[in-house]
Amino acid sequence: MKLGIDLGSRFVKIAVQTETGITYHREDTVFFYKNRVKRENGEVLIDLTSYGADETCAITATGYGRNMMSFANANVISEIKAHYRGALESTGESEFILVDVGGQDSKVIYVRDGYIDDFVMNDKCAASTGRFLENACRILDISLDDLSEMTAEPVKLNSTCAIFSESELVGRIAEGFSIESIGAGVNESIARRLFPLIRKYRHKKIFAAGGVASNNGLLRFLSEMSGTEIKSLNNPQYNGCFGCLFY
């Protein structure tokens, strides 16, 4: 039995591999730390007995939470390694670009000859992250599913900072633009921020993981900008924990 854990800022994703296959689970991050993490004899341990794990079970962890603590009973790896390996195993491709938008960061990984050739990661600004998308939905009073379908007549959004972008959204509402056009503008603006990272590598096989993979509107704009159809990975939200199973 093996377990892969992606410690996200909002949710913890868990992949459980047994002889019968792989199952995926998701828990609220605060719930996970309160109920699955414990301290014994000065060491921090992950307790996954509720998933069938025992002291001999191999656990590999990655994600936002790995930066806050280390675990005595888990192998801890970088997000880049986890997402790269998950995409490599999922696609069967040896050369591709992977785009991942997480809750608090965005990353683009270039894989060549089956190995990580280069990557760029933005964790300094929230303007191209899942948290920004959630805040935009709150301001527009729509769901993430609603936002993902908005592509028509996008309103131009100029702010490059998440805080100023939120103020700009309120301004666009006050100017009388439709919620659909503003939502399309949100998708287009994030695609515009991600595109320079993709263009750097100039490869035509591009895959998406994380929250961006479920946003059809964002993927449409990004595909138009890059000139190639960006495909979603299998179980894109669980790509990180899936990749952990191979370490």
**DSSP string for 7-67:** E-SSEEEEEEEETTEEEEEEEEHHHHHHHHEEEETTEEEE--GGGT--TT-EEEEESGGGG
| Record: fold of 93-233 | Nucleotidyltransferase; domain 5 (3.30.420)
> What's the pLDDT score for residue 122?
75
Strand partners, 116: 111
> What's the pLDDT score for residue 125?
61
| Gap between the Cα atoms of 111 and 228, Å rounded | 17
> What's the pLDDT score for residue 99?
95
> What's the pLDDT score for residue 123?
59
Q: Which of 53, 45, 47 is nearest to 35 (CA)?
A: 47
> What's the pLDDT score for residue 197?
87
Sequence-distant (6+) residues with CB within 8 A of 23 are 15, 16
* Domain ranges for the chain: 2-76, 93-233
| Gap between the Cα atoms of 61 and 84, Å rounded | 14
| CB 241, CB 8: distance < 8 Å | no
Q: Do the domains 93-233 and 2-76 match in fold?
A: yes
| CB 183, CB 147: distance < 8 Å | yes
> What's the pLDDT score for residue 150?
97
Task: Tell me 229's DSSP state.
Answer: P
**In the structure encoding, which two tokens stand for residue 223, read together?**
């595909």
Q: Please give the helix or strand (H or E) that residue 102 lies within, else none.
A: none
pLDDT per residue, tens digit, the chain (247 aa), is 999 999 988 899 999 999 999 999 999 999 999 999 999 998 999 999 999 998 889 999 998 766 666 899 999 999 999 999 999 999 999 999 999 987 778 899 999 999 999 999 875 566 667 788 888 999 999 999 999 999 999 999 886 666 667 889 999 999 999 999 999 999 999 898 889 889 889 788 999 998 778 899 999 999 999 999 999 999 999 999 999 999 9
Alpha helices in 92-153 (DSSP H): 130-140, 144-148
What CATH architecture applies to the domain 2-76? 2-Layer Sandwich (3.30)
